[in-house]
Amino acid sequence: MIVEFGHFTLVLAFMVALVQTVLPLWGAYRRDTRLMAVADPAAVIQLLLIATSFAALTYAFVSNDFSVKLVVENSHTTKPMLYQFAGVWGNHEGSLLLWVLILAFFGACAAWFGGNLPATLKARVLAVQGSIGVAFLGFMLLTSNPFLRLANPPMNGDDLNPLLQDPGLAFHPPFLYLGYVGLSMSFSFAIAALLEGRVDAAWGRWVRPWTLGAWIFLTIGIAMGSWWAYYELGWGGFWFWDPVENASFMPWLIAAGLLHSAIVVEKRESLKAWTILLAILAFGFSLTGTFIVRSGAITSVHAFANDPARGVFILGILAFFMGGALTLFALRANALDAKGVFSMISRETALVANNLLLAVSAFVVFVGTIWPLVAELVFQRKLSVGQPFFDAAFPPFMVILAIILPVGAMLPWKRAELRRVLRLLTGPLVLTLALAALIWAVQTGRSALGPVGAGLGAWVVMGAAVDLWQRAGRGGVLDRLARLTRLPRADWGKATAHAGLGITIFAVAAINAWATEDIRVVKIGETFPLGRYDVTLQAVNTLEGPNYTTTMADMRVTKAGAEVTVLHPEKRFYPVQAMPTTEAAIRQGVFEDLYLVIGDAQDGGGYAVRSYIKPFADWIWAGSLLMALGGILSLSDRRFRAAAGARKPLAVAAE
Amino acid sequence: MRALILALMLIAAPALAVQPGEMLADPALEARARAISENLRCPVCQGETIDDSNAPISRDLRLAVRERLVAGDSDTQVVDYVVARYGEFVLFKPRASGSSLILWLAGPAMLLAGAGIAFAALRRRAVAPEAAALSDEDKARLADLLQK
């Protein structure tokens, strides 16, 4: 009964979304305030209805209702409680329900917090948001209904894919979706602005928090996914350039560009058309990502749901929204004239370069991701594009970006003198080159990746520090320190996020350049050297977990005779899905991770053991979290909150 | 559903793909074998290198690569040997030839085109900023005022 009720509210939500699309749009066109006023309650009701559906599906999962097809396919009575919940979105239908729930949540947020928006703009934003809801609710009801019942319910379910039974992955999809779907807000604002025919500084200020929020969630979501891959997949990789990873990375890159160009709109009323285009593309890449993940058109390690019919439907949604948006853009972009003029050397130009590099790098990822499909369809060549290609084709753009970042970040608006900024950065530049040279000298014979990565990282981090220090003005050190604490949060956010990027660049280079790997057969009681450590395989035991059996090794790690730690790598077997997984044992350290993996028992006795030393591994995610933290600091800046109160009297004065 | 589970079992095979027994005693040769394997795709899996894959055919390929290396082939010869048998599908980094040139040149070409367009647009927009600039005298006064 509860399941049917959830199904019913989902259908109702579809109807409400239709109303939310049509009436406010018509109302904004006719300047009819009553019709426009429908948007607010519709958005809130849509959220409540979808939340009810979601609660109903969650209930079906938690209560192990095996008459529901989806529950049978993705759950089992022995599954731990956390994954009973996470199982709701660990599959195609449920994850779509989460998708539309978040979409409706953002719509409702726009209704709640959009009080200071002009009435027509707000009505149009909510209408566009509603139309996305119509498309995806229709998609769910027609091709991917989570509430289907079975005529003959089985006694138990098929369980969730064991790889997904992990806390990191339980919360990875919600964050990622908050990011993906959050970009729908920037999209709705862009379309609404095109319909209004007006983009001004106020628009830039309204759209930036939404983009920033979506970008923060995407950053956290991607970092979580990469961390999960690092410890769960068992060979210590953290990024595989898999189509599904790329699907989340492309919107991240575009959203990062959008964040920066929206600043130019807000502060200088320039780059308007470009910013609108980026807002459209960012959501376009989100939809493309959804298409890639949900259709399985581009086969990937993650393609948990492959169904061509669904693929065609999503492709239709993608074509409709992107085709419509880009046509509208082509018709209206000319009306968006720029006000602010700026010279060739200025903060604006630096941000144009930032946008160009981010957009091109997203384009490279896009071309690489779809190239196998294009090559097969157009050139009849069956080929693969994988990690080695991206490792060669992507980093150059990031290197250029990192080189210009500290300089661009300190250039003044409108008109700048390059020499003055370069003089401020002389210290960091000298230190950077010295560091790179030192590393180059110490690690003779290895690749240039290490010194280059360390140099770039140091350059970006020191650049961020100099930028902050410069913002603190002149005078004595104490005065400056005091002023540092009173700087706007946005300044701190900028420096923090940039420093985070520098740290991540350094860590990625370091782990690739300096990792140690060792593969060998080890008998019980045997000791082998691993870098500066000695590792002893003490015992291997078979144990029972809640829904798996495990072969667990006890491995003692010593350094110069002194015990460092005892690690327990596991090899698990999940009988319901008949699937083995590897649980690497990791000793995390500030400067390096010890990463041990136990493999199969060998014919001649002993076990296959893979061990790694991964230098600076955790710095990758620390850097990502710093980027997200920078975003949060920037989002909490007074400017965004104060603006809400300040606008109303201003608008009155203007009238 | 059965097919999906089967496929998942294949994908999610345990990670100990390169078995210790397969490795060559000569560390230099083994390092070359690993470097070559990183660019070779398991022909039957979903996007895994032969190093990471547990499929029997990947094991055969790993052994074949090492056999050719021991026989004295160069890296290119080894890769050619595998490509001749399994097609360019097994290369994760497509060769920059024929239509794949598009793939390799797309990024740099777009960067150049974008930079060109941006440069032209900026030049048009930068309306005589020199006229608005401060004279040296004004600059000196400004600096003086800021000092106070």
Same domain, A409 and A550: no
The span from the CA of A106 to the CA of A634, in Å, is: 20
Q: What is the pLDDT of residue A640?
A: 67
**Above 50 in pLDDT, residue B130?**
no
**Above 50 in pLDDT, residue B14?**
no
pLDDT in tens, A544-597: 888 888 989 999 999 988 889 999 999 888 888 777 888 888 998 889 999 998
Residue A565 domain boundaries: 520-617
B125 neighbourhood in chain A, CB within 8 Å = 270, 338, 341-342
Same domain, A9 and A149: yes
Same domain, A155 and A262: no
Residue B21 domain boundaries: 2-90
Choice between A235 and A427, residue whose per-residue pLDDT is larger: A427
Same domain, A263 and A338: yes
Residues 6+ apart with CB under 8 A from A272: A199, A265, A336, A337, A338
The span from the CA of A361 to the CA of A254, in Å, is: 9
Q: Is B127 on the interface with A (CB under 8 A)?
A: yes
B21 neighbourhood in chain A, CB within 8 Å = 521, 602
The span from the CA of B26 to the CA of A348, in Å, is: 56
Query: With contact defined as beta carbons under 8 Å apart, do A176 and A227 qualify?
Result: no
On whether residue A367 sits in a domain, the answer given is yes
Q: Is B120 on the interface with A (CB under 8 A)?
A: no
**Above 60 in pLDDT, residue A352?**
yes
- Nearest by CB to B15, which of A234, A304, A382? A234
Same domain, B111 and B86: no
Residue identified by tokens 């008109």 is A415
Give the ipTM. Answer: 0.82
Q: Do A582 and B14 touch (CB under 8 A)?
A: yes
On whether residue A609 sits in a domain, the answer given is yes
Same domain, B8 and B81: yes
Tokens found for residue B65: 């690569």
Same domain, A101 and A244: no
Would you say the pTM of this structure is higher than 0.80?
yes
Query: With contact defined as beta carbons under 8 Å apart, do A224 and A168 qualify?
Result: yes
pLDDT in tens, A244-287: 889 899 999 999 999 999 988 888 888 888 899 999 999 999 98
Q: What is the pLDDT of residue B148?
A: 63
Q: Which of B50, B66, B90 is the last residue of a domain?
A: B90
Average pLDDT over residues B65-76: 89
Same domain, B73 and B106: no
pLDDT in tens, A180-209: 899 999 999 999 999 988 888 888 888 889
On whether residue B95 sits in a domain, the answer given is no
Q: Which of A368, A387, A418 is the last residue of a domain?
A: A418
Q: Concatenated DSSP letters for A434-457?
A: HHHHHHHHHTTTS-THHHHHHHHH
Same domain, A157 and A259: no
Per-residue confidence band for B113, with pLDDT thresholds at 50, 70 and 90: very high
DSSP symbol at A630: H
Same domain, B30 and B84: yes
Mean pLDDT, chain A, whole residue set: 87
Angstroms from A516 CA to nearest CA on chain B:
12
Query: With contact defined as beta carbons under 8 Å apart, do A577 and A484 qualify?
Result: no
Residue of chain B whose alpha carbon sits nearest to that of A599: B16
**Above 70 in pLDDT, residue B84?**
yes
Residue A102: closest CA among A169, A165, A46: A46
Same domain, B32 and B66: yes
- Nearest by CB to A520, which of B12, B20, B110? B20
Tokens found for residue A540: 């291997």
- Percentage of residues in chain A having pLDDT higher than 70: 94
* Domains: count for chain A: 3
Same domain, A161 and A244: no
Q: Is B116 on the interface with A (CB under 8 A)?
A: no
Average pLDDT over residues B4-19: 47
Q: What is the pLDDT of residue A179?
A: 92
Same domain, B25 and B73: yes
pLDDT in tens, A601-649: 888 788 888 899 999 999 999 999 999 999 999 998 876 665 444 444 3
Q: What is the pLDDT of residue A516?
A: 86
Per-residue confidence band for A445, with pLDDT thresholds at 50, 70 and 90: low
Residues 6+ apart with CB under 8 A from A21: A127, A128, A130, A131, A133, A134
Cβ–Cβ pairs < 8 A, chains A and B: 165
Q: Do A602 and B20 touch (CB under 8 A)?
A: yes
Same domain, B20 and B76: yes
Same domain, A216 and A147: no
**Above 90 in pLDDT, residue A395?**
yes
- Nearest by CB to A384, which of B21, B41, B132? B41
Angstroms from A386 CA to nearest CA on chain B:
5
**A532-536, A645-649, B22-26: lowest mean pLDDT where?**
A645-649
Average pLDDT over residues A497-512: 94
Q: What is the pLDDT of residue A441?
A: 81
Per-residue confidence band for A296, with pLDDT thresholds at 50, 70 and 90: low
Residue of chain B whose alpha carbon sits nearest to that of A301: B46
Per-residue CA distances from A379 to A63, A106, A322, A386, A388 (Å): 52, 42, 26, 19, 22
Tokens found for residue A119: 């009435």
A359 neighbourhood in chain B, CB within 8 Å = 114
**Above 50 in pLDDT, residue B6?**
no
Per-residue confidence band for A288, with pLDDT thresholds at 50, 70 and 90: confident
Q: Is B132 on the interface with A (CB under 8 A)?
A: yes
Average pLDDT over residues A446-453: 84
Among A52-66, B93-107, B134-148, which range has the highest average pLDDT?
A: A52-66
On whether residue A442 sits in a domain, the answer given is no
Tokens found for residue A80: 């731990």
Q: What is the pLDDT of residue A33?
A: 87
CATH code at B15?
A: 1.10.8.640
Residue A192: closest CA among A340, A36, A314, A41: A36
Same domain, B49 and B108: no
Q: Do B14 and A359 touch (CB under 8 A)?
A: no
Same domain, B41 and B81: yes
For chain B, the helix, strand and coil percentages under 3-state DSSP, each to the nearest 5: 65, 5, 30
Q: What is the pLDDT of residue A638?
A: 72
Q: Which of B41, B70, B90 is the last residue of a domain?
A: B90
Tokens found for residue A527: 């000791």
Average pLDDT over residues A164-184: 86
Q: Concatenated DSSP letters for A564-614?
A: EEEE--EEEEETTTTEEEEE-EEE--SSEEEEEEEEEEPTTSSEEEEEEEE
**Above 70 in pLDDT, residue A650?**
no
